[in-house]
Structure 1
Amino acid sequence: MTQAANTLNGVDRDALNGTLEAVQKDPQLAQVSFTLGSNWKGGCRQSAVTGATRQAGNTIDSRTARYAFESDEPAALLGSDTAASPAEYVLHALAGCYAVTFATHAASRGIELSSLRLDMEVDFDLQGFLGLDEDTRAGAQEIRVTVHAESPNTPREGLQELTDLVQRHSPIRDTLAHEVRVATNLA
């Protein structure tokens, strides 16, 4: 895999170091907020569009693009199967965050990734969602991730250390693995 002068795994290492230095000098820059607006489309369908991204309380003006999402449920789960399910988006969010965390932390350590594939599964017990068993959690029971990573310059032990590091530093994994306050208000 050919890389630009100081790019590794598609990560600009100079920009990464600049970000690390900037956050060390001004820790408020580490505070980032993402926004999204969602509209119900009937049944189990909804559409959403990304909104502003803020860093240290200020809107990041350079990010003007907006991205659309559609979700639905499979027919067997009362949907019309027109889009990915919210559970699949959870897996996608975790996969995306893992990819970012793998690429960034590998680049900062000089590890060249020649491939990275994630096989993911999430289990739910619908008794919680349906209100049939108040002792059954409505959320996921377990998420399993199998990492397939290869590197021309790092042995399996080094890739295992990187995988362990990714688990500790992935923001989405941390969000899923630990309780997060979710404030829901009727406007």
Structure 2
Amino acid sequence: MSDVNLREEQEPLKREYEENPDAAKITLTATGAEQDDVRSCSVDIGRAIYEAELHEGAGGPGAAACSGDLLLGALAACSQLTAQAVAENFGVDVDVSVEASGDLDLRGTLGIDDDVRVGFEEIRLDVTVDGDLDEDTRAALQKYTERYCVVHQTLADAPEPETTWEFS
């Protein structure tokens, strides 16, 4: 286990959010901006900047992450971090690794066939937990990881994106 006691770190936050629910409401922002090549962009999340490109199967260079990679990466990261946090709050010492994969048909995004879905047709999440856990703890770890993982829950019950276009 790490030197940081997550339960101690979260306790004052939980108290504050119980007393002042508005304090728990946050807005995360990511901004995509064109780079020199129209097939790539920078994604600024305020704390870091990532490079993204069209997938090579859609005409991109294939040297950086595509948006689908970033979506799956967000799911893998959120699931892994949530599982580790849940395990720590249970007081169990485990190592968690997560692999997210998904299938999509590029004919949809390239506008070749209107009957082909644009986006992932299927997403798989493979979670490996290394540690000595009894059956009840295993079940609880899975239940609460899936329940409290923001990206998992967002994908499972997706809100309709609200889009605003501004032309200048």
TM range (shorter): 0.7 to 0.9
The aligned residue for residue 86 of structure 1 is 67
Match of 1:98 among 61, 79, 93: 79
Unaligned runs of 5+ in 1: 52-65
Within a 5 Å distance, the mapping from 1:64-75 to structure 2 comes to: 66-75=47-56
The aligned residue for residue 44 of structure 2 is 49
Alignment of 1:184 with 2:163, yes or no, is: yes
Specify whether residues 156 and 120 from structure 1 end up closer, same or farther in structure 2 by C-alpha distance, changes over 3 A only.
farther
Cα distance, 1:116 vs structure 2: 0.9
What is the alpha-carbon root mean square deviation over aligned residues? 1.9
Alignment of 1:26 with 2:20, yes or no, is: yes
TM-score (norm 2): 0.87
CA contact (8 A) 1:43 1:79 kept: no
Unaligned runs of 5+ in 2: none
Q: Deviations over 1:30-65 (max 9, x none)?
A: 2111112221223321112123xxxxxxxxxxxxxx
CA contact (8 A) 1:98 1:170 kept: yes
Partner SS, residue 31 of structure 2: strand
The aligned residue for residue 127 of structure 1 is 107
Cα distance, 1:156 vs structure 2: 4.7
- Mean CA deviation greater in 38-47 or 90-99: 38-47
Q: Which of the pair is proportionally richer in helix? A: 2
TM-score (norm 1): 0.79
The aligned residue for residue 147 of structure 2 is 168
